[in-house]
Amino acid sequence: MIETRGRAGAFLVERSINRLWALTQTGPLVIALPLASSPRYEALATAIKQLMTNAGLEVILMFVRGSRQRLQALREGRCHLAAMSWFAASELHDAGEAVVLELLPNSYNTGHRVFYTPSGEKASHVRVVVDRYSADQQLLTAMEFAERDLVTLPAMTGQIARMLEAGEADAAVWTIDEMQTRWPAGVLDRPLSAAVRERIGDRDTRAVLVGEAADASVLRAVCGALDPAQVERIQLDVLAGRTVPEY
């Protein structure tokens, strides 16, 4: 709401996010999120939906496998915002896109680890599962196994546990959040190497929303409904079972 104060000019005294969106766009705000393959992704979707709805926005969440495909959906105009890790966004987005919101550490996941079979860790030719649509997994795998003789096995991340258990693969870089939902007996894990961790910091754990650069100012204003601390609170409530996931 604008208030005029004589010679002092006009002042913005109250901001209506839903009215701002209605003035600039027709239809609901569409956000592309990762598949709800872990409780943490469900918690993120719940927080975004709840806070955006409370701000009066009509929001549609679409669930798309892989950060590369979510970014493609943005470029094709099928969504207004695409969620991914800060690490993936920094590697993938170009001058036509902008990060319009950055959330807190562990908002996207609690970090990547190397999962491997006892024999696979010492194999001369390491067979590593790589999902070509996941920039995080693809890039981190290349960094982690840069000094090894690598054989990549294209597959969806949801197939990692089965392939390791069946002896069809030796290793995979994956999130602890997703592995915990289907961790096979006998599959071991270790942290990413110190050199890789130093290079990426916590960027692989932070969720960001990416939008078209031309619309960045409006999208940043709309994303004002997503206070990072409130997103974290809702996520923790969902993960603790105090709030039922709803998105």
Out of 56-65, 122-131, 140-149, 209-218, which region has the weakest mean confidence (pLDDT)? 122-131
In angstroms, rounded to a whole number, what is the distance separating the alpha carbons of residues 208 and 217? 16
In 92-217, beta strands by DSSP E: 97-102, 112-116, 126-130, 150-154, 171-175, 188-191, 207-212
Domains and CATH numbers, the chain: 2-108+205-239 (3.40.190.10), 112-200 (3.40.190.10)
pLDDT tens-digit series, residues 149-184: 889 999 998 899 999 999 999 999 999 999 988 899
In angstroms, rounded to a whole number, what is the distance separating the alpha carbons of residues 172 and 187? 11
Stated pTM of the model: 0.88
pLDDT tens-digit series, residues 58-117: 999 999 999 999 999 999 999 999 999 999 999 998 999 999 999 999 999 999 999 999
